[in-house]
A = this chain, B = another copy of it.
């Protein structure tokens, strides 16, 4: 009853974050109790409040960092070229890689939005909108230069994002398909969907035969 030998604030906080993402993804935010989370970390429930003032603060922190990481990875992967097809290919590849790599975190950020307060919901949605805006810009450029055949930029962006993010619902690493195969197939579907007529280059030119060109 008191401080535990070898206890370390930073390690405990990291363990709490990790366990929380996993538990919330599996049980849902409302269904996960602070006592359950504490047990998973190997600590008493009261100890959690040293790191997160409330349960909602914990949820918000997880979501904010998820969105920040998503935006940061896209900014790192964004190609310098102005060619819409190449930019779209990079967006698809980055999006799928990120979401497959962070399935639990994505589940949390997509399914638990209603548990946030109004202000915090607005913050998260702002980040999401900023990320989606990048895709809309690519589609618009492609439509204007005639390399894409898109009816409605906004609608197509939403459809593509739903399609791509949906990969986490059914994809399980190590089963029938590899990440590279899934990415290649989604890339091909995306290019057909937007009616891409020109070739495009990809960040992984030697990964798979289908990567090389659209049609």
Contacts and interface: CB of A to CB of B under 8 A. Distances in A.
Interface of A: 26-28, 30-31, 111, 114-115, 149, 151-152, 155-156, 158-163, 165-167, 169-170, 177, 182, 185-186, 188-189, 192-195, 210
Contacts of A155: 177, 182, 185
B31 A151 contact: no
Contacts of A159: 163, 166-167, 186, 189
A162 B158 contact: no
Nearest to A169: B162
B114 A188 contact: no
**Stoichiometry, copies per complex:** 2
Given A156-B189, A158-B169, A162-B169, 13 more contacts: A30-B30, A151-B188, A151-B189, A155-B182, A158-B170, A159-B163, A159-B167, A161-B166, A162-B165, A163-B166, A189-B193, A192-B193, A193-B193
A115 B115 CA distance: 16
Contacts of A195: 192
A115 B111 CA distance: 14
Contact of A151 (B158, B166, B210): B210
A167 B210 CA distance: 29
Q: State the majority secondary structure of interface residues on A.
A: helix
13 contacts: A26-B114, A27-B114, A30-B30, A31-B115, A149-B192, A151-B210, A156-B185, A159-B189, A161-B166, A162-B163, A162-B166, A166-B166, A192-B193
Contacts of A182: 155
- Ranked nearest first, the 10 interchain pairs of A and B with the lowest CB-CB distance are A162-B166, A30-B30, A163-B163, A193-B193, A30-B31, A151-B185, A158-B170, A159-B163, A189-B193, A192-B192
Contact of A166 (B26, B111, B158, B194): B158
A28 B115 CA distance: 9
A215 B170 CA distance: 31
